Chain A
Amino acid sequence: MSALNLSFRMRKKKVNRSLGGNILMFLFLAVTGAFMALPLVYAINAAFKPLDEIFLFPPTLFVRNPTLDNFVDLTALLGNSWVPFSRYIFNTVFITGMGVVGHVLFASAAAYPLAKMNFPGKNILFTTVVLALMFAPQVTAIPNYMIMSWIGLIDTYWAVIIPAFAFPLGLYLMKQFMEQIPDALIEAAKIDGASEYRIFWQVVMPNVKPAWLTLMILLFQILWGTEGNGFIYSEELKTLHFATNQIIQGGIARAGVGAAVALILMSVPITLFVFSQSRIIETMATSGMKD
């Protein structure tokens, strides 16, 4: 992938760029960028506003007298909840952690044969996975509930974790990324007498680290925001998002605390993305669908 970075630096002289066009593009980007960013800026500011400033007329975008009151109220509120709040955090962290690790392992193991081996049934399996990208998970919600209850996983963490292992987008991205590993590398390992499993673990896996990270982030985003998909109903098993949604839905009195909660929740995936952005883009470069 160093070739990719290299080709960037090479493009110093830009052809076909007019000043007028650049100004037009900049204006367009500034306006749309403001539309994208303002709600988030407002949310961040709202978290630091005292209550009288949240309900001020005319409304303000930026905070005037920043305060940590909302966060203090939040900790007071959390201390009073029936299930200790740390339990909700543990639930979400457990579900996210198990789901992410399992998904990366399962999807990579399945992606390697699809990318690098030839066997009967390969095309139909991959086509099925691509087809699965084409519909939203809501389609299968009802039968999924029935299947979960047959297996006896209702009201456990596993009802959320296990289906996440077989999330189709992860396999798709991993397979496309693995295809660019040179065949010679795998051949060489074979000649040295390595078994397919060893090749997978010691040759292929170390070479697809950017893709791991992408799968981790994608799944992290899904599982971090999960409310249990309707499978979890014991209060002590419920997730962080479920608990915080109840705070947000507390209405006007909780507006400040709600903003504080939202700020804390969204800062986690955004921070992760900031640190992994370049790896993710690297993986997405191979995401294209071939004819």
Chain B
Amino acid sequence: MSEAIARRRKRKEPGVPQPGSRPDTWWSLKRKAFVVNKHAYVLMAPYMILFALFTVLPVVMSLLISFTYFNMLELPTFIGWQNYSRLFLEDDVFLIAVKNTLLFAAITGPLSYVACFVFAWIINDMRPKVRAFMTLVFYAPSISGNIFFIWQMIFSGDRYGIANGFLIRWGIMLEPIQWLKTEIYILGIIILVQLWLSLGTGFLAFIAGLQTVDKTLYEAGAVDGIRNRWQELWYITLPSMRPQLMFGAVIQLTTSFAVAEVSIQLAGFPSVNYAAETIVTHLMDFGTIRFEMGFASAIATVLFALMVGTNLIVQRLLRRVGQ
């Protein structure tokens, strides 16, 4: 009798093959897990299917197409690393584009990031009404759509342009400058406009993050000998905001690598002597004008690697803030 009970108990243990029932294979275990969590998958399905179709699949396709010659008319033919070797060894314009993109990213990325934080930090000290107003002033450019054409009027090449007009009137120069047609000025102007547009989602995240910092920490800090706002910033505010800092970094970095629209609107496409060519405009050149899809996909893949790689490195660095 007791032997029979023991046998029955043993039978109920998981993992032991039971006579008369199918063994738990990897698939049947997966299926069981799926059935148990059915609701989760059903809720996620619509979004995830579209996400896979329009974000994940394109990245994979882009990677695959980059190893082929493909002109949208004939079937793609596999050509190995040729697109990449052509990109880095033969395409001089691409190297200009990479140089410009890295320059934009290296300047506008960190600068806009710091600007987002500093403005949010200063604004945070103000009374709520003033704070809401200043938030609007700083945030408005980034949501005004293609309003940046106004910069075209500011840097217009004749003397009716604002910049030329004032500089001539103040006697700083005598002749109007063709700002957007002179190589040495183009990059600076695009960086300026890009910075003007850059106080976006990251800025809002910082404002919000600053409001969630535990206020008692400041009082405790004052008791413990923190003497000015700079020490307070470094020892209390920044470490408390690390999650927002990381989110803001992703947003600012990704935008700073994707400069294209401003460059095209202000400097033209292509710009004078490719002075404002970026990786994205180069990609558009080959993808939408020359229809060399294999080559364009190689450019896209390089851009992808550059953006994601930089972001991951920055995430790793920020994780160490205040540790």
Contact = CB atoms under 8 A, between A and B. Distances in A.
B272 interface: no
A109 interface: yes
Interface string A33-71: 101110110110010000000111111010000000000
A124 B226 CA distance: 42
Contact of A110 (B46, B53, B115, B250): B46
A221 to B, nearest CB: 5
A128 B56 contact: yes
A134 B250 contact: yes
B58 A16 contact: no
B190 interface: no
B311 A134 contact: yes
A182 interface: no
B267 interface: no
B303 A262 contact: no
Contacts of A56: 160
Contacts of A289: 243, 246-247, 250, 315
Interface residues of B, number: 110
Interface in A124-176: 125, 128-136, 138-144, 146-147, 162-163, 165-166, 168-169, 171
B136 A277 contact: yes
Interface string A93-130: 00000000000001101101110010110100100111
A282 B132 CA distance: 13
B79 interface: no
Given A138-B303, A166-B47, A119 B33 contact: yes
Contact of A138 (B137, B138, B280): B280
B41 A119 contact: yes
B43 A196 contact: yes
Given A28-B122, A43-B147, A287-B208, A140 B62 contact: yes
Contact of A284 (B143, B204, B297): B204
B46 A106 contact: yes
Given A142-B287, A241-B146, A289-B247, A196 B39 contact: yes
Given A33-B137, A119-B40, A284-B205, A262 B150 contact: yes
A193 B140 CA distance: 47
A100 to B, nearest CB: 15
A232 interface: no
Given A281-B208, A289-B246, A42 B59 contact: no
Nearest to B245: A288
B137 to A, nearest CB: 5
A245 B146 contact: yes
B297 to A, nearest CB: 6
Contacts of A228: none
Interface in B59-105: 59, 61-62, 65
A29 interface: yes
Nearest to B206: A284
A270 interface: yes
B10 interface: no
B55 interface: yes
A83 interface: no
B145 A269 contact: yes
Contacts of A32: 115, 119
A106 B50 contact: yes
A44 to B, nearest CB: 10
A40 B144 contact: yes
Interface in A241-291: 241, 245, 248, 255, 258-259, 262, 265-266, 269-270, 273-274, 277-278, 280-291
B255 A136 contact: yes
A245 B122 CA distance: 37
A267 to B, nearest CB: 9
A218 B200 CA distance: 10
Contact of B244 (A33, A273, A283, A287): A287
B173 interface: no
A288 B150 contact: no
**Max chain B Cβ within 10 angstroms of own Cβ: one of A39, A43, A128, A265:** A39
Interface of A: 4, 7-8, 10-11, 14-18, 21, 25, 28-29, 32-33, 35-37, 39-40, 42-43, 46, 54-59, 61, 106-107, 109-110, 112-114, 117, 119-120, 122, 125, 128-136, 138-144, 146-147, 162-163, 165-166, 168-169, 171, 195-197, 200, 218, 221, 224-225, 230, 241, 245, 248, 255, 258-259, 262, 265-266, 269-270, 273-274, 277-278, 280-291
11 contacts: A15-B219, A16-B229, A40-B140, A55-B160, A119-B36, A132-B56, A135-B304, A141-B287, A143-B59, A221-B145, A281-B207
Interface of B: 30, 33, 36-37, 39-41, 43-44, 46-48, 50-51, 53-59, 61-62, 65, 115, 119, 122-123, 125, 128, 132, 134-141, 143-147, 149-151, 153-154, 159-162, 165-166, 168-169, 196, 199, 201, 204-205, 207-209, 211-212, 215, 218-219, 221-222, 226-229, 231-232, 241-247, 250-251, 253-255, 257-258, 260, 280, 283-284, 287-288, 293, 296-297, 300, 303-304, 307-308, 311-312, 315, 319
